[in-house]
Chain A
């Protein structure tokens, strides 16, 4: 019997050995905080005020999860826990709902601004970049549900347009690192973004930028951008389910060569903390799950689930 148990234990170890895949990193967390400005909101009771803020953040997060799946979107409820949530987030997106003007009749304007925590190569603060008229204001005081419905309707019908997505991708998503490391599959000449590819849902050919400081030429440290295109998830092996990418360009580098034999070593010797992976503003998502998303050539690369 002891021999049988020992054999079983060995089998377990063998299985474990075969599955030394590296776990994926979580995508960056974006905290969504709503702010209300204007006399109308000031007139609300504290509870109503908080509820409305929470609902707006929640609604925004709902759309963001669908349209911008490359980040983990969390709504931050105003209160004592907010500080912890904000500290844990890689970036914070502020959704401002403003009443303008504060007169007899006014409109609501929705605008966004954002902050990116340390590590971002973007030296300057992102400002508010969009004002969106919501609906003429008449009398919402005492009719919170009506106000909430009005904001909901606006977000559903008018906010999440492709024009808005273009803005938010260029001004915000592009600035937030989705990962702070990059792995190398030297055998297949691929760089591996250590995130769950299924979750990122990137369409084949989407561009990814890796900014890093590494000794690319003559051993001198140099800040450089590697331009990658996504080639879908890795199936099996060390990088199972992570996103594999092909190097198509080196930008601002001492060499223009895409893949060189010493690239893995150079990446391994990158200055600690200098590696940041970004989604290009023009990236695209597969409209369906990655498993049933055809590639650029129209072929399905996976038989898919039954």
Chain B
């Protein structure tokens, strides 16, 4: 009995093993013929493959393995067919095809639903000049097949039919796409057939593609169709509509649209007698500041179905442009939505109306909302167009909700007296009744900024226009030789009467929301020129406004707490830069070149940077500096040699300021020092160890400097794009400041290094070439070898950032486009915990990359 049990057990094990073996050597339920032959076939070794499959067939026949026999005959047919395709001699080719037929027929194609057997054999028949037989085989196989198998067969058949029966081929491709809308090859083939044979049918296929989300394909096909002279009549209009519908589903930069592939193609169509106006109006929609329905009359053509009409397509485009224009200000979107609603105003579009109503609600345009809803309801009652029941229900529900909101807001508005901000010359803004809103700005000419005490020898004042209003004040225009305005002496005194005072509770809206772990805080102060910022030991920040030469102390909520000095300074007083030392004290640079240590802490000391002698000349000015441990300083300096030539170098000063040592030569004053001058923070410290970016080098090197040692190059950053340095140098004049910073923002140049605690960070700005979209990363580096530990994406697209590292928080000030010297808005700052950036928090969920290799291979000295 026990023996019997063992026997049964063994049998079961053997069966299982055989079954496993079968499964391992077959795929998707198909038995393998001969793995070695298969490998040879895949590698194109057809002779070896033929031998192997023949041996496999013999073995299968001996073993009465019918499945394997069929697979082997299939492969023998495939080998013969492949050989025939490579054969140039017609007679031998025919022989091989005939052999392929024999093998495939042995594989019983008619009894099988497998697409491979039928499709390959049909192709052999076609190659043998017997298309009727190929068709019959395909038709029979299609009739038997279902689902994906049928689609695969239909696809193969459609491809075979392309040259001789495009009508049937198109029909088959349509069937394929109905089953597999993402089969891009089939859609491509369909478009190609329609363009060449039936251009009037192309628009519908383009719309099908749009509806299936293949918008790029639809766009390409529409453009292709429009370039062909065979496409005429209404088909051209419909194709342009399809193209616009495809555009409306895409996300792209409207500002760069005219230069895009589609934009250029539309420009070429501006001479097309049939669609010129339509093409022009699409371009206009992307560039217009105040689009109006009357500008887009060409598109006011509805049709049946409405959802494939030019009107619907263009309205969709305007809706998508509205959403992109909005970016936090619904007034920007209003123009587009109103234009879309007014275009073909009698044609209902409930989804569009919902968006218009939402916009009217957001912009407080309640009276227009009432009128609109009344009109839309009337139109719906008399409209003959079919509107889906569900669409109608959504429309009714939404309008009811909007109406409810409008009524609530009206009631609130009636109970609150409107308040206006009013700027007073003696102390900022107050709120109260009156006709002044907080958008009102006073323009005041101010003499001689940034050095008010200095007068030009010519007798002409160096003057500046300053805008002053409830949102702060900013330098409007710097005019180096502006004739004195009568009474300007009196006016000159005006700034001294201005104590910086900003309204509370009325802040600019942050431009973008922030992601988890990050907090965007609006600033109620607007520094004229934010050069740097540093955290205090508490949770406040000092902002250095190098134009007004004041330090603005703000809290983490963005509220101004004090300005130091309180009044705009005269002469060489005031501050230019501020930094936080490794020990946590705030160090500020005065315009006189003196560093004030321990700002705000009461334990102050000073260290004069200028005038110190080195072996190569006297320190004439300082471009950048960073505090080291024990109050040492690393600085980028202008050195004036005895020969009168200005040179740049990185210098190190000890705490007492007695020893000044040149640690790195930059070169002669000029092109080499440009990147230091534009404010890229090139210096950082971890304790007593300094780090610097050699910005004049190409590619830029990152150096470590230990006390008493020579600088040690740790790594190399990616090279700066060719020619950029020259371009920057050409813009290094005051009147070209805007162009200079535009170049910097677009240049993908390292944006600075920072030390915080024992960690070193590289701030990296990347500008996308095509869209110009800017992204920022803060990369944590291993200070020993500059390997990248972590990279954290900073959720901003601001063109410029000023970073302030802190023990608990980092602040990133989002600086907008520089419109001119002293003209740069800083609407907000981003706050993020230092732990997140150091990736020390285990539950951290912000985007973070762990990157485990150095970014530069070079390691010298």
Contacts and interface: CB of A to CB of B under 8 A. Distances in A.
A162 B216 contact: yes
Contacts, number: 282
B851 A120 contact: yes
29 contacts: A1-B6, A8-B13, A12-B14, A15-B18, A15-B21, A19-B20, A100-B328, A103-B362, A120-B849, A120-B851, A123-B788, A123-B791, A125-B779, A125-B848, A126-B793, A136-B358, A187-B43, A188-B43, A235-B35, A236-B36, A236-B38, A237-B38, A240-B27, A288-B152, A292-B149, A294-B155, A300-B120, A303-B30, A304-B116
A126 B795 CA distance: 11
Which are the 3 A-B pairs with shortest beta-carbon distances?
A236-B35, A300-B116, A127-B775
A124 B766 contact: yes
Interface in B129-159: 148-149, 151-152, 155-156, 159
A8 B30 contact: no
B215 A162 contact: yes
Given A8-B13, A131-B251, A291-B27, A303 B183 contact: no
Contacts of B842: 83
Nearest to A133: B323
Given A161-B249, A241-B27, A138 B358 contact: yes
Contacts of B354: 136, 138
A113 B514 CA distance: 13
A121 B852 CA distance: 9
A11 B20 CA distance: 13
Contact of B43 (A82, A189, A298): A189
Given A161-B214, A162-B213, A300-B156, 15 more contacts: A11-B17, A19-B20, A104-B405, A120-B851, A122-B851, A123-B853, A127-B776, A129-B773, A137-B358, A139-B405, A233-B27, A237-B39, A291-B27, A304-B117, A305-B28
Nearest to A106: B362
A232 interface: yes
A3 to B, nearest CB: 12
A72 interface: no
Contact of B847 (A37, A105, A113, A302): A113
B768 to A, nearest CB: 8
B604 interface: no
B326 interface: yes
Interface in A115-152: 115-133, 136-139
Interface in B716-772: 764, 766
Interface stretch (B106-114, B164-172, B814-822): B106-114
Interface string B234-270: 0000000000000001110000000000000000000
B32 interface: yes
A119 B852 contact: yes
Interface in A265-306: 284, 287-289, 291-294, 297-306
A35 interface: yes
Given A101-B330, A128-B793, A305-B29, A299 B512 contact: no
A67 interface: yes
A38 interface: yes
Interface residues of A, number: 99
Contacts of A237: 35-36, 38-39
A65 interface: no
A105 B358 contact: yes
Contacts of B773: 129
A287 B182 contact: yes
Interface string B616-633: 000000000000000000
Interface of B: 3, 6-7, 10, 13-14, 17-18, 20-21, 24-25, 27-30, 32, 34-36, 38-40, 42-43, 45, 70-71, 74, 78, 81-82, 85, 107, 112-117, 119-120, 123, 148-149, 151-152, 155-156, 159-160, 180, 182-186, 213-217, 249-251, 320, 323-324, 326-330, 354-355, 358-359, 361-362, 398, 401-402, 405, 409, 509, 512-516, 764, 766, 773, 775-777, 779, 788, 791-793, 795, 842-843, 845, 847-853, 855
A231 to B, nearest CB: 6
B324 to A, nearest CB: 7
A19 B28 contact: no
Contact of A96 (B323, B328, B515): B515
B527 to A, nearest CB: 25
Contact of A299 (B123, B214, B779): B123
Given A136-B354, A240-B35, A124 B764 contact: yes
Contacts of A124: 764, 766, 777, 779, 791, 849
B683 to A, nearest CB: 23
Residue among B42, B82, B848 having the largest count of chain A Cβ atoms under 10 Å: B42
A37 B514 contact: yes
Contacts of A126: 793, 847, 849
Contacts of B116: 292, 300-304
A99 interface: yes
B847 A114 contact: yes
Contacts of A99: 513
Contacts of B182: 67, 287
Given A19-B21, A113-B793, A298 B115 contact: no
Contact of A138 (B402, B847, B848): B402
A302 B39 contact: no
Contacts of A261: none
Given A1-B6, A127-B777, A244 B42 contact: yes
B417 to A, nearest CB: 21
A303 B114 contact: yes
B766 A127 contact: yes
B791 to A, nearest CB: 4
Nearest to B148: A288
A252 interface: no
A300 B764 contact: no
Nearest to A274: B853
Nearest to B323: A133
Contacts of A96: 515
Contacts of B764: 124
A292 B71 CA distance: 15
A303 B70 contact: yes
A222 to B, nearest CB: 11
A287 B183 contact: yes
A162 B217 contact: yes
Contact of A136 (B107, B114, B355, B793): B355
Contact of A133 (B35, B324, B402): B324
Nearest to B850: A118
Contact of A294 (B71, B119, B184, B852): B119
A297 B115 CA distance: 15
Contact of A38 (B120, B151, B513): B513
Contacts of B186: 287
A288 B186 CA distance: 12
A83 B843 contact: yes
Given A118-B852, A235-B27, A304-B28, A125 B216 contact: no
Contact of B849 (A18, A116, A129, A301): A116
A284 B25 contact: no
Nearest to A124: B777
B209 to A, nearest CB: 9
